[in-house]
Each structure stands twice: as structure tokens, then as C-alpha cells.
Structure 1
Amino acid sequence: MRYHKLKAGVEPGTYVMESSVMTEQDILTMANQLAKRRLSKGRRLSNPLEVKAHLMTLFQHCEHEIFSILLLDNQHRIIGLHELFHGTINMAVVHPREVVKLTLKHNAAAVILIHNHPSGNPEPSSADISITKQLKKTLELVTVNVIDHIIVGAEECTSLAEKGLI
């Protein structure tokens, strides 16, 4: 896989590439690089739609479930995005102990839980709702706030917070 370096263009929000010939895979690779950059350390989360768009870019094409966590500080600035668990085509086993360890290691004040549904349907399952409640309870013990659990599908994301499930 080739990685292209993007340089900032003259106008804000524009980029210049080092190569003028691109394949579809090159474009997807660059989109992933840009999405990761937008979710990098120190950025403040202010627009939920933008966050969902970046998560869609990163996770919508995965062939197996990936459970990730976006660690945030007190001001909801990003500390880091971490992939914690990889699963099968329809499930990933989530260990609350490992979630707490990672959260404390990075001194996070809040988190956004994330996972994808390779089926493409972003609706939460009863298992998704159950693990969200379990993680929320567990993280509250160490004063870490679960802001949301976002499920990434093929065409859209579902926010458990927006559905009133957190």
C-alpha cells in the first residue's frame, strides 16, 4: 500500500499531493489518513456530524467488528483513538477491565465508545446496549464519563446517546 504525503495548499482546507496519478485505493488511503488526522491528539470535538463522518471513513469498510475507544480530556479534546478488540463478522468480545486500564493509563476524563457492524446495519443489538451500560457503570467508578457509543454501518452511524440508550 502506498502512502501519499499531503502538503497544505495555499487556501485553508486544500492539499497538494506529490503525485498526479491516483487510483481509487490511493484516494481511500488518503481519506483514512485525513480522518485519522482529524481525530488526532489535541483536537477538540465540537461537531458530532464531523466526528461521525470521520468514523465512517475509518470503519465502514471493515470486514470484521472492531471495538474502539476515543479518549478525551476534561475539555473534550482528543487524547487518542485506540482499537481495543477485533472480532468476527458479527461480534467482538469486549473486556471492561481492558477498557478501564487504557482509560486510566491515558488519564482520560471522558470516552466515546465506537464499533462497526460489518453487516452494514448500524442499529444497536441488545448485546451492544448491554455492554454500553456495563461500561458506563464500570467507568463511573473511576469518574470517567461515557459520552456516547457510536455504531458505524455501511451508510450511516447510530448514536446510542441520541437514541437515549446511555
Structure 2
Amino acid sequence: MDRAAEDDLISCAARILEQRVIQGEPLTDPNAATDFLRMRLSGLDREVFFLVLLDTRHRVIATEVAFMGTIDGAEVHPRVVAQMALKHNAAAVICAHNHPSHNPEPSAADRAVTVQLKQALSLLDVRLLDHFVVTAKECTSLAARG
């Protein structure tokens, strides 16, 4: 199978998985969240900051690419994330971004933006449930790390 056919197959699988997540059960299982996020973000060649917007029962309302970055960073603005949460009337948010370097360790900037997002969203009664750093082989949860 050539690279283009593989990419098409992966893209199709990602769309199917996203539809199942959006139409399915609450996204409370960390393994389901990491599988979904790895499928969406792991193969990208630049950083992408991604949002999963949830209702009060943690069912997926929508997913959005919030920011596109470069090979080693993406600028994240809490104001834009808050606008997206309000636009979808989200009660909770899971955010994630990939590391094209394949290093699953959150940077100091990753931890700082998580704190900023949590504070900004809490003012709007929107909970930030987690922030994941995604690579092809691993998905690191900042919530699990405290």
C-alpha cells in the first residue's frame, strides 16, 4: 500500500472514530480519549492545539482545531478557547496538542497554558478536564500528573 492510500485509510478511520465518539457515550474513559486524540493528532508534522468540547454529561458536542503552529510550538490564546467553548455551549473541555518531535513530556509552556486555560474557563463555569500531549506512541495527561 502506498503512502497516499495509507493516509486516506487513516483519515477515513479517524472520521469514523470521531463520529462514534461524537454520537456515543460520555467521554469519561481516559483510554478512549487517548485513542481518539492519538488518531487525530499523532501523524501531523506541525503542532496543532485541539479541543474536545463536552456537555454536562461529558458527551462530545464538537471537536475543533483551535490553533495551528510550527514544528516546535503553537501559540495558544485562552480568549479564543473560551470563545469556542461558549460558541458550543460546552460545560467541559479536553484539550490536546501534538509534539512532532515525538517527545511526550509536557514543556513548561504546556504546563503554563494549562493553568491559564483552567483559570479562564473556570470564570465561565467551564471545566478543563485534561490537557494531553500526543505523540505517535504515547499520550501524556497533565491532569494525571497533577
> What TM-score results when the alignment is normalised by the length of structure 2?
0.91
Percent sequence identity over aligned pairs: 46
Taking the aligned partners of 1:60 and 1:108, their CA distance within structure 2 comes to 25
- Within the candidate set 111, 115, 118, 1:136 is matched to 118
**Could you list the runs of 5+ residues in structure 1 that have no partner in the other structure?**
1-22
- Within the candidate set 63, 80, 96, 1:114 is matched to 96
The alignment status of 1:88 with 2:64, answered yes or no, reads no
Write the deviation string for residues 4-27 of structure 1: whole angstroms up to 9, x where unpaired: xxxxxxxxxxxxxxxxxxx43343
Instruction: Tell me whether 25-34 or 69-78 shows the greater mean CA deviation.
Output: 25-34
Question: Does the CA contact (< 8 Å) of 1:39 and 1:81 recur in 2?
Answer: no
> What residue is the counterpart of 1:104 in the other structure?
86
Matched position secondary structure for 2:101: coil
**Could you list the runs of 5+ residues in structure 2 that have no partner in the other structure?**
none
The alignment status of 1:54 with 2:54, answered yes or no, reads no
Matched position secondary structure for 2:61: strand
Question: Does the CA contact (< 8 Å) of 1:65 and 1:90 recur in 2?
Answer: yes
Question: Does the CA contact (< 8 Å) of 1:67 and 1:86 recur in 2?
Answer: yes
> What residue is the counterpart of 1:162 in the other structure?
144
Higher normalized contact order (CA 8 Å, seq sep 6+, divided by chain length): 2
> What TM-score results when the alignment is normalised by the length of structure 1?
0.81
Following superposition, the deviation at residue 44 of structure 1 comes to 1.5
Following superposition, the deviation at residue 41 of structure 1 comes to 5.0
Question: Does the CA contact (< 8 Å) of 2:22 and 2:59 recur in 1?
Answer: no
Following superposition, the deviation at residue 30 of structure 1 comes to 2.4
- Within the candidate set 60, 75, 85, 1:78 is matched to 60
Question: Does the CA contact (< 8 Å) of 1:111 and 1:147 recur in 2?
Answer: yes
Following superposition, the deviation at residue 118 of structure 1 comes to 0.6
Taking the aligned partners of 1:31 and 1:118, their CA distance within structure 2 comes to 21
Instruction: Tell me whether 25-34 or 88-97 shows the greater mean CA deviation.
Output: 25-34
Residues paired across the two proteins, number: 142
Following superposition, the deviation at residue 42 of structure 1 comes to 5.8
The alignment status of 1:148 with 2:130, answered yes or no, reads yes
Instruction: Tell me whether 41-50 or 139-148 shows the greater mean CA deviation.
Output: 41-50
Name the amino acid aligned to 1:40: I
